[in-house]
């Protein structure tokens, strides 16, 4: 008995740590599969011993909220749902009753209160008893009615979510791959609980109602389904559901199962609820679960396979991530052969070794994961050197998690930003090399310096087999690289990523040195400060860059791959020459701001991002606008001109 109690204590501690990470810190330290397995172990031990520990997750739901947002107790506890993975158990639970089967959405549960037809209060689920008041944030949810036709007190519950499509758009706007959000739920949780609802508004949070708590004076004919349709008639989006009986529940489950991968709204299962309101109320609750609803989670389809290898890939933070490669298996209708293992701690807990028999599954039927290791050889070697640069590695422990890092500050994997600038439109303009693609190529050891980008044909066979690449996309990339082999000197200088040297400054420098790269490489700082518009900081930056033997070698290698062409002579003795412009608002005559910026710079002008005392002109087609840039320009007596006026000015 004593050993079982100790086992229970260990399980409670592990499960509570996982729940704290998930609910309070918006991160995951174990998969749902692992959590469910441990939770079931705990329930079995509690039943066997007759003992339930005070801090057991079978008694308590969630964690206390840690936030500066106001807190408020719920009128009635918001309990979690009992769950099953067996359709037959759902049938037995439903019996002869009618019910509704709906998505179990994976976001943040919110309680809304409307009074006199207007949203009066929004509170998060929190720990089930006390939540956070997020009314201002709820008012900027994308699909929440600001006013409804019902004027009594309306209380309803639903899920705030960020759709997969919006999640992708938000992540795509974040250049730093390591800074991107892990999943829609984490992003939604942080977005809903912002202190500044302007941030919430930008995150495209949607709300889907799933339960009506109170609406006095309305006859719902004793039907929960009728309640849902009434909420829909008021303008609320409701969670998708199917009306079910014991006879058709198999068909309904199959419907949701077949639509999960195409569903834009994150979900992690289904919810079955009795339709009969009075019957539901008569059932009451247990200490943890309501008796009128049951959660269904798909039984994870698992398959046994053998671990072939573990690939290690370095990221820009120096973190080296392990990915398990195993013999291909069929899961949920697709073939999988890879799964992220995340860190050293998980490798150790699974006791992984090459050749081990492992059991794999798809979390939420989407993301491949290792469920368990059946042979646990533990013979997997941890790399002593970085797979990208060959420098020594070290294991660091952060927040009880051990991870592997590269120790070399100059590791190519840490220089993704430099490569991204190098291939950008204002530099070599190589299409098909996104930041994510560059990171993959660096991790695989294809790119160690700029010149290697022009040698990617050495890895054609490997690249065409990579996810997202094929013969056609590779051919397009090769064509783009071919075009990029000829470049003008200002863009070449800009592409090197010299601190402080933008394209406009590069043009000024190249013009002053008569397009002579050798002269630029060997010049003293004074020669640069004599150029109008070039100060001491930029001068020192250029001199320091070319004083580095490593940089000179890098440039030498690059010149073996590309040809610098002479830029067409422009008559820069115009009204634009030497002037600084700021561009704002929409354009009519130019394709985009970049096109107008390129024209100004070709005429010897500069384009800045913000209005300051150094600005000569602000270009804005709406000269009467009350925008911050217009206001600043007026304060500083800076002329505001339209495109037409600029074109006329340029011809002076």
Contact 493, 485 (CB under 8 A): no
pLDDT tier at 289 (50, 70, 90 boundaries)? low
Residue 509: phi, psi to the nearest 5? -65, -45
* Least trusted range by pLDDT, from 67-76, 245-254, 320-329, 508-517: 67-76
Is the Cα dihedral 345, 351, 355, 356 positive or negative? negative
pLDDT score of 438 more than 70 = yes
The pTM score is: 0.51
Tens digit of pLDDT for each residue in 369-390? 898 899 999 999 999 999 888 8
Q: 432, 398, 427: which is closest to 558 by C-alpha?
A: 427
Q: Which of 187, 180, 185, 181 is nearest to 439 (CA)?
A: 180
Give tens-digit pLDDT for 463-496.
Answer: 988 877 888 888 999 999 999 999 999 999 999 9
64 confidence band (pLDDT: 50, 70, 90) = very low
Query: What's the confidence (pLDDT) of residue 77?
Result: 65
Q: Indicate the pLDDT class of residue 51, thresholds 50, 70 and 90.
A: low
What pLDDT score does 545 carry? 92
Which of 193-202, 209-218, 558-567, 612-621 has the lowest average pLDDT? 193-202
Find all residues with CB under 8 Å of 514, minimum gap 6, and list them.
Answer: none
Confidence (pLDDT) at 238: 93
Res 101: pLDDT: 93
Predicted confidence at residue 62, as pLDDT, reads 44
Residue 163 phi, psi dihedral angles, 5° rounding: -65, 155
Q: What is the pLDDT of residues 127-165, one digit of tens each?
A: 777 888 888 888 889 888 877 888 899 999 999 999 989
Rounded Cα gap, residues 323 and 312, in angstroms: 6
The answer to whether residue 630 scores a pLDDT higher than 50 is yes
Question: What pLDDT was estimated at residue 63?
Answer: 40
C-alpha neighbours within 13 Å on the C-beta side of residue 564: 17
In 3D space, the residue among 156, 54, 56, 172 whose CA is nearest the CA of residue 113 turns out to be 156
* pLDDT score recorded for residue 496: 92
Rounded Cα–Cα distance for residues 95 and 72 (Å) = 38
- Using only C-alpha atoms, the chain has a radius of gyration, in whole angstroms, of 31
For 421, phi then psi, to 5°, come to: -65, -40
Mean pLDDT across the chain: 83
Q: What angle do CA 365, 268, 76 make, to 5 degrees?
A: 170
User: Would you name the residues annotated as active-site residues?
Assistant: 104
Helices (H), 276-361: 277-283, 344-350
- Categorize the per-residue pLDDT at 65 as very low, low, confident or very high, splitting at 50, 70 and 90: very low
pLDDT category at 573 given cuts 50, 70, 90 is low
Cα separation values, 188 from 156, 162, 208, 605, 650, Å? 19, 6, 13, 44, 49
- Predicted confidence at residue 55, as pLDDT, reads 65
> What are 206-255's pLDDT values in tens digits?
999 999 999 988 999 999 999 999 998 888 889 999 999 999 999 999 99
Q: % helix / strand / coil in the chain, to the nearest 5? A: 35, 25, 40
Extended strands (E) in 455-539: 486-488
106 has a pLDDT exceeding 50: yes
Distance from C-alpha of 343 to C-alpha of 324, rounded to nearest angstrom: 11
């Amino acid at each position: 008995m004593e050993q079982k109690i100790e086992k229970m204590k260990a399980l409670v501690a592990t499960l509570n740590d996982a729940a704290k990470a998930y609910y309070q810190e918006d991160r995951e330290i174990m998969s749902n599969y692992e959590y469910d397995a441990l939770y079931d172990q705990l329930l079995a031990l509690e039943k066997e011993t007759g003992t339930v520990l005070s801090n057991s997750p079978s008694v308590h739901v969630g964690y206390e909220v840690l936030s500066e947002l106001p807190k408020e107790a719920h009128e009635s506890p918001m309990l979690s749902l009992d769950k099953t993975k067996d359709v037959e158990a759902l049938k037995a639970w439903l019996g002869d009753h009618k019910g509704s089967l709906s998505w179990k959405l994976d976001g943040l549960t919110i309680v809304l209160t409307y009074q006199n037809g207007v949203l009066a209060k929004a509170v998060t689920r929190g720990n089930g008893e006390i939540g956070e008041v997020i009314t201002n944030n709820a008012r900027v949810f994308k699909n929440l009615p600001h006013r409804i036709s019902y004027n009594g007190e309306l209380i309803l519950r639903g899920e705030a979510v960020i759709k997969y499509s919006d999640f992708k758009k938000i992540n795509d706007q974040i250049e730093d791959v390591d800074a991107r959000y892990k999943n829609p739920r984490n992003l939604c949780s942080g977005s809903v609980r912002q202190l500044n609802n302007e941030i919430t508004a930008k995150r495209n949070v949607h709300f889907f109602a799933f339960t009506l708590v109170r609406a006095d004076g309305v006859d719902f004919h004793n039907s929960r389904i009728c309640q849902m349709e009434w909420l829909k008639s008021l303008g609320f989006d409701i969670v998708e559901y199917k009306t079910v009986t014991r006879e058709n529940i198999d068909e309904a489950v199959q419907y949701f199962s077949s639509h999960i991968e195409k569903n834009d709204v994150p979900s992690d299962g289904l919810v079955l609820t009795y339709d009969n309101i009075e019957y539901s109320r008569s059932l009451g609750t247990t200490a943890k679960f309501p008796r009128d609803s049951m959660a269904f989670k798909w039984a994870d389809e698992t398959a046994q396979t053998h671990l072939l290898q573990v690939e290690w890939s370095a990221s820009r933070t120096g973190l080296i991530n392990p990915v398990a490669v195993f013999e291909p298996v069929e899961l949920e209708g697709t073939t999988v052969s890879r799964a992220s293992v995340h860190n050293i701690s998980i490798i150790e807990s699974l006791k992984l070794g090459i050749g081990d028999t492992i059991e794999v599954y798809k979390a939420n039927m989407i993301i491949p994961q290792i469920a368990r290791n059946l042979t646990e050889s533990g013979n997997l070697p941890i790399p002593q050197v970085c797979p990208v640069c060959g420098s020594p590695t070290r294991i660091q422990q952060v927040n009880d998690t051990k991870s592997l890092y590269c120790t070399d500050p100059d590791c190519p994997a840490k220089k993704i930003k430099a490569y991204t600038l190098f291939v950008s439109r204002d530099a070599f303009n190589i299409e098909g090399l996104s930041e994510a693609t560059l990171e993959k190529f660096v991790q695989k050891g294809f790119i160690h310096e700029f010149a290697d980008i022009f040698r990617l044909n050495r890895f054609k066979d490997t690249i065409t087999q990579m996810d997202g690449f094929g013969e056609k996309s590779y051919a397009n990339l090769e064509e783009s690289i071919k075009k990029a082999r000829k470049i003008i000197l200002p863009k070449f200088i800009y592409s090197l990523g010299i601190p402080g040297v933008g394209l406009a400054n590069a043009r000024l420098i190249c013009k002053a040195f008569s397009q002579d790269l050798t002269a630029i490489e060997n010049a003293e700082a004074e020669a640069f400060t004599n150029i109008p518009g070039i100060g001491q900081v930029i001068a020192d930056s250029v001199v320091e860059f070319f004083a580095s033997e490593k940089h000179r070698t890098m440039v030498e290698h690059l010149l073996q791959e590309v040809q610098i062409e002479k830029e067409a002579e422009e008559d820069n003795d115009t009204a634009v020459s030497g002037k600084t412009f700021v561009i704002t608002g929409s354009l009519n005559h130019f394709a985009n701001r970049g096109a107008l910026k390129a024209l100004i710079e070709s005429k010897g002008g500069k384009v800045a991002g913000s209005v300051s005392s150094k600005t000569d002109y602000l270009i804005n087609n709406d000269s009467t606008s009350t925008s911050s840039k217009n206001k600043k320009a007026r304060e500083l007596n800076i002329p505001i001109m339209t495109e037409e006026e600029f074109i006329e000015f340029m011809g002076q």
